[in-house]
Amino acid sequence: MITPEQHIRLYKEMLRIRCAEAALAERYKQQEMRTPTHFGLGQEAVPVGVCAALTKEDVAYSHHRSHNHYLAKGGSVYRLAAELFGRKTGCSGGRGGSVHLTDRESGFIASSAILAECVAMATGSALSFAMDASDRIAVAFFGDAVAEEGAFYECLGYAALKKLPVLFVCENNGYATESPLSIRQPEGASIHGRVASFQIPTRNIDGNDVAEVYLTALEVVDEMRRKPGPVFMECRTYRWLEHVGPFFDHELKRTYRTKEEVEEWMAHCPVKRHGAYLLENGHATGEQLSTWETETRKSIEDDIERAYQDPWPDVQTLMDKVY
Ligand SMILES: Cc1ncc(C[n+]2csc(CCOP(=O)(O)OP(=O)(O)O)c2C)c(N)n1
């Protein structure tokens, strides 16, 4: 059961992430953010639903498409924007760029562009939590291509054997860069089906429905705290923009997927969908929805501008934190 207040919180958090990603993608086109950037527009419901079920003490890791996860776990738009501009005030001191985000205070430990690395790091954190007999949980957010990495299966086996409190969250958006699942996996194969063979409980859900994601995450997180062991969630969703960069594929005349396919998924936008739910159920008025959007956009524009005005890191610190 989700209360009206919780529904509103889920909506506002998706809206914050959506507006941040949209504004950053626009700004990216000016070519002042010199970091390869994988935007997560369209995939907001998964991180928001999952992170709403976690505590600050739980930790999260992510892959190259990491902005949504960093923000949903509690990261700030200002420090994300500063990181993309390479500024000293960025969440990684301006040294990491889009694929190396961190915010230890909110429990977002790291993102990494090496596929499956986040799975291994989360499994390691879960091992330490198990050794400390703590009830903390480690979460790994990643895409469907990770199910084609050997390290993923090593982690599944180890986590299942040692009953580690690690939640594997696969955002299955159907593509690895420009390759659809249909040319990467045999017909009829399913990722959650393969994971289940490791004796790991799995869920296969609509990743564009924030309420379904949240309720599923609440249930599995509760299960994991009572009886430690890994759980795998496969969440079906869709990325709107090109694999890396701020444009739609059709704007660049790419043909690996059609404009119609993208538009069909955009019609199932998780933010709009939850807004409609709030209206239908009398949890919010149309006027409130538009006020929230205006306020959110404004505060994000302010954050981005403030980040842009910040200083670069000092040249003298170039070799600091290099190991
Ligand atoms: C170990 C490794 N192999 C290959 C790559 C190159 N690569 C970067 S992103 C990507 C596809 C990722 O697809 P997916 O995991 O489904 O996430 P999505 O981009 O769809 O969110 C690949 C193959 C990499 N970064 N790491």
Question: For the chain, what is the domain count?
Answer: 1
Dist. CA 180–CA 177, nearest whole Å: 8
Would you call 294 exposed, middle or buried from its count of C-beta atoms within 10 A (0-12, 13-18, 19+)? exposed
Q: Is the pLDDT of residue 268 over 90?
A: yes
- State whether the beta carbon of 240 lies less than 6 angstroms from ligand 1: no
Q: Is the pLDDT of residue 321 over 90?
A: no
In-domain check, residue 288: yes
In-domain check, residue 310: no
Dist. CA 38–CA 33, nearest whole Å: 12
Q: Region 274-282: what's the mean pLDDT? A: 98
pLDDT at residue 287 in the model: 98
Ligand 1: distance of its center to the CA of 284 in Å? 39
| 172-190 residues labelled b (16+ CB within 10 A) or e (exposed) | bbbbbeeeebeeeeeeeee
In-domain check, residue 256: yes
- State whether the beta carbon of 229 lies less than 6 angstroms from ligand 1: no
In-domain check, residue 37: yes
- What residue owns the CA closest to ligand 1's atom 12? 176
What CATH number did the domain enclosing 10 receive? 3.40.50.970
In-domain check, residue 308: no
Ligand 1: distance of its center to the CA of 270 in Å? 23
- State whether the beta carbon of 176 lies less than 6 angstroms from ligand 1: yes
Q: Is the pLDDT of residue 322 over 90?
A: no
Would you call 308 exposed, middle or buried from its count of C-beta atoms within 10 A (0-12, 13-18, 19+)? middle
**What's the gap between Cα 249 and its chain centre?**
21
Ligand 1: distance of its center to the CA of 301 in Å? 30
- State whether the beta carbon of 141 lies less than 6 angstroms from ligand 1: no
Tokens for 263, please give them: 């538009």
**Mean pLDDT across the chain:** 98
Task: Identify which of 41, 62, 64 to mutate to test ligand 1's pocket (most ligand atoms within 8 A of the CB).
Answer: 64
Q: Is the pLDDT of residue 323 over 90?
A: no
Using CA atoms of 89, 93, 97, 99 in order, give the dihedral in degrees to the nearest 10: -120
Please work out, in degrees rounded to the nearest 5, the angle formed at the alpha carbon of residue 322 by the alpha carbons of 321 and 323: 110
Dist. CA 284–CA 103, nearest whole Å: 32
Q: Region 114-139: what's the mean pLDDT? A: 98
Closest to 158 in 3D by CA, of 189, 130, 132, 190: 130
Ligand 1: distance of its center to the CA of 235 in Å? 17
Residues spanned by the domain of 237: 4-303
| Cβ 207 vs Cβ 45: under 8 Å | yes
Q: Is the pLDDT of residue 210 over 90?
A: yes
In-domain check, residue 33: yes
Question: Which residues are 111's β-sheet partners?
Answer: 62
In the chain, the amino acid numbered 262 is V
pLDDT at residue 227 in the model: 94
Dist. CA 250–CA 165, nearest whole Å: 42
Q: Region 168-176: what's the mean pLDDT? A: 98
Using CA atoms of 226, 45, 90, 121 in order, give the dihedral in degrees to the nearest 10: 40
- What residue owns the CA closest to ligand 1's atom 3? 115
Ligand 1: distance of its center to the CA of 244 in Å? 11
- State whether the beta carbon of 199 lies less than 6 angstroms from ligand 1: no
Query: Helices 4-28 and 286-309 meet at what angle, rounded to 10?
Result: 40
In-domain check, residue 323: no
pLDDT at residue 192 in the model: 98
Tokens for 36, please give them: 């390869």
Ligand 1: distance of its center to the CA of 112 in Å? 11
Ligand 1: distance of its center to the CA of 156 in Å? 19
Q: Is the pLDDT of residue 208 over 90?
A: yes
Dist. CA 183–CA 175, nearest whole Å: 10
pLDDT > 70 in the chain, percent:
100
pLDDT digits (tens, 9 = 90+) for 99-123: 999 999 999 999 999 999 999 999 9
In-domain check, residue 136: yes
